[in-house]
Amino acid sequence: MKKIRFDDCICHSNISNHNDIKDELLSLIAEGYSETMDDLSSNDRISKLDFGNSKDRTRPWVNKFLPNWDDSLRECIQSMGYVGVDLYNCWFQQYKEGDTHGWHIHGGHFTGVYYLEFPSNSARTEIYSPYSGSIEKVNIEEGDFILFPAHWIHRAPSNTSDRKTIISWNFNVTQESINFETFVSGKPNT
């Protein structure tokens, strides 16, 4: 068996008006539907999440978040040669001290993580490189988000802060949304 190295990327950006929307998003999350995850077999423990409603776009926090997310996400997607996205679910997760989300993958083409509430000592998402077997940690700050292929194995290691809150989503791109001019020029935006 031979592994062939093929370039791919993790996109890293931020929500430009994070400071303007953070408190309202956290308030709307606190008021909304939530569940917990405590799965001893996989060592997953998440204090609060709403994955069970991840396809419901009428949730108040989602209505506040999506317009602010769209421009930042679109810039990342276009830099990879795509034009549009088909968002199919979006949810939040709140981690208290000691909470964790073990190694897992997502469905679809891409997944994203927005660090809505991220104290400086919070645990960063770890992403496993299928080529080298190494574990990557993106140097992120509160207000940042990352995008990466949904099939990449990743986890949220044990949280070391009082509370961290992330918003995550999955989306697809389609053949019709490929920006062929990017490929013809051979120069995607970086």
pLDDT digits (tens, 9 = 90+) for 74-107: 888 888 888 778 888 999 999 999 999 999 999 9
Pick the more confident residue, 81 or 58: 58
Q: What is the structure's pLDDT at 180?
A: 53
Cβ atoms within 10 Å of 121's Cβ, excluding its own: 10
Pick the more confident residue, 3 or 91: 91
Pick the more confident residue, 110 or 180: 110
Q: What is the mean pLDDT of the chain?
A: 86
> The pTM is what?
0.88
List 87's β-bridge partners, or say none.
Answer: 171
Q: State how far the alpha carbon of 122 is from the alpha carbons of 55, 128, 147, 162, 164, in Å.
A: 28, 19, 19, 8, 7
* For residue 118, pLDDT beyond 70: yes
List 92's β-bridge partners, or say none.
Answer: 167
Encoded amino acid at 61, one letter: W
**Which contiguous run of DSSP H or E holds residue 96?**
strand 86-96
pLDDT class of 61 with cuts at 50, 70, 90: very high
* For residue 177, pLDDT beyond 70: no
* For residue 39, pLDDT beyond 80: no
What are the structural domains, with CATH classification, of the chain? 23-185 (2.60.120.620)
Query: Which residue in 122, 110, 106 sits closest to 11, CA to CA?
Result: 110
Q: What is the structure's pLDDT at 22?
A: 97
Output helix, strand, coil percentages for the chain, rounded to the nearest 5.
25, 35, 40
The predicted model gives 164-183 an average pLDDT of 75
Query: Which residue in 74, 73, 82 sits closest to 181, CA to CA?
Result: 82
pLDDT class of 175 with cuts at 50, 70, 90: low
Highest mean pLDDT among 4-18, 28-42, 89-103, 119-133: 89-103
